[in-house]
Amino acid sequence: MAEGFQAPRGTLDWLPQRSAARRAMIERFRQIFEGAGYGEAMTPIFEDKALFARTAGESSEVVGKEMYLFEDQGGREMALRPEFTASIVRLYLENGLSRDPQPVRLWSAGNCYRFAAVQRGRYREFTQVNAEAIGSDDPAIDAELIALQLRWFESLGLDGLEVRLNTIGDRADREPYLDQLRAYIDAHSSEVDDEVRRQRDLNPLRAFDTKDPASAAIMADAPKITDAVSDEAAAHFAAVRSFLDARGVNYTLDPTLVRGLDYYSRTTWEISWPALGAQSGIGGGGRYDGLAELIGGAPTPGVGFACGIERVLLALEDQDRSPAPERQMDVFFAIFCDAARPRLHALMDQARARGVAAEADLAGRAVKGQMKQADRIGAALTVVCGDDEWARSVCVVRSMASGEQTEVSLDELVEHLHNAKMGTA
């Protein structure tokens, strides 16, 4: 290890067991969203830096200091994607999807990259599953996305989720409100801490996030954006809530909930699993009706969310649950005769070609060790072939559950294994 390499800080190695869990989670996500009419979209892992800079906002941490940037050999400024939404909207515009029936609904899964301080649940390379609906401002979509997202969590066996919901109005509502909020902070300037004063200039909405109790008390009485939104946005939010209420979705209203990316408008939400501690946010999203214009497209409404696979998996592991299916093998080949190995390996391959999951000893194990291996991998059957059987061109097929053994001619072995598999399946 001293002279060796370690995975880069903030990255994870995925061994088979967790890889299976991860894949099962994504597969579940796929089933749920494709069952609701969402199609899979994949975008490049890197994009023009400006795509993210313009959409997420220069004042956001993500753009300000967390992007992985590089200049390619052609001198282009590129960034590894810190999130999906900007890429998906870019995809929508670039591929003319505004000509498709609206809204265009897409889901994605893949790695994102942010150069942030590493801790449990926060990694520099991490995986998000993502869903976006672009081209309609129907409040039913906001509610549908939240409901589907919750269905995913529940299908994985995660209990005790908290859903927080808010509306931050339209961009046009924002400036007058921000002036109001800045004025309030200025009026209480001497009573709040540096953090609030810093946010006042940077992103006043975030001033509500202060941890300082005195400042928090002051901010508790500050004007809330929820009260400052237009009648139209308020009506939209009321409609979102009615769609959620009709489904029986539990949520709490949090008028200080502001998502960290500047492009959000109207509905915002966050789902957390509190036991995870500081990185308890396992999913979040919102509406971004102004985003398409920011990157040169026609005004196009949109709404979407993302969930962090690693965090959800940590939560599941904390509950001693794994979404990974049991590993199973149909047949193990236990061969105690060197001369027999080539022929039996060939037969094993033929069985595999017919859909039988099979493996053989590859470690030179003794008899006992090979049987133990068969047991360990959960093989339903073990093909046993030693000198005696090989001399007679047969083998013994043992049922690992019952211990029952039958002798089978090597010529009929593949057919026998195939039938056994079909019979039990």
Q: Are strands 394-399 and 379-386 parallel, antiparallel or unpaired?
A: antiparallel
Choose one: 17-25, 175-183, 295-303, 395-403; the region binding RNA (CB under 7 A). 395-403
Smallest separation (angstroms) from RNA to the CB of 85? 8
Q: Is 15 in the site for RNA (CB under 7 A)?
A: no
Choose one: 73-81, 216-224, 306-314, 341-349; the region binding RNA (CB under 7 A). 306-314
Any bridge partners for residue 408, and if so which? 395
Q: Is 76 in the site for RNA (CB under 7 A)?
A: no
Burial class of residue 339, CB neighbours in 10 A (0-12, 13-18, 19+) = exposed
Q: Is 330 in the site for RNA (CB under 7 A)?
A: no
Q: Is 365 in the site for RNA (CB under 7 A)?
A: yes
Smallest separation (angstroms) from RNA to the CB of 101? 28
Binding mask 208-237 for RNA (x = CB under 7 A): -xxx--------------------------
User: Residue 349 belongs to what H/E stretch?
Assistant: helix 341-353
Q: Which of 77, 388, 411, 412 binds RNA (CB under 7 A)?
A: 388
Q: Is 369 in the site for RNA (CB under 7 A)?
A: yes
Q: Is 162 in the site for RNA (CB under 7 A)?
A: no
> Is there a contact between 88 and 41 (Cβ–Cβ < 8 Å)?
yes
Q: Which of 13, 403, 423, 425 binds RNA (CB under 7 A)?
A: 403
Q: Is 252 in the site for RNA (CB under 7 A)?
A: no
Task: Please give the C-alpha separations between residue 121 and each of 163, 275, 278, 281, 305, in angstroms, as whole numbers.
Answer: 19, 12, 9, 9, 18
Binding to RNA (CB under 7 A) within 260-279 occurs at 260-261, 270, 277-279
Greatest Cα pair distance in the chain: 97
Q: Is 398 in the site for RNA (CB under 7 A)?
A: yes
DSSP states along 227-238: GTS-HHHHHHHH
Q: Phi, psi (5° rounding) for residue 281?
A: -70, 110
Smallest separation (angstroms) from RNA to the CB of 312? 7
Q: Which of 47, 396, 415, 418 binds RNA (CB under 7 A)?
A: 396
Q: Are strands 69-71 and 125-134 parallel, antiparallel or unpaired?
A: unpaired
Binding to RNA (CB under 7 A) within 49-68 occurs at 60-62, 66
Q: Is 400 in the site for RNA (CB under 7 A)?
A: yes
DSSP states along 304-332: EEEEEHHHHHHHHHHTT---PPPP-EEEE
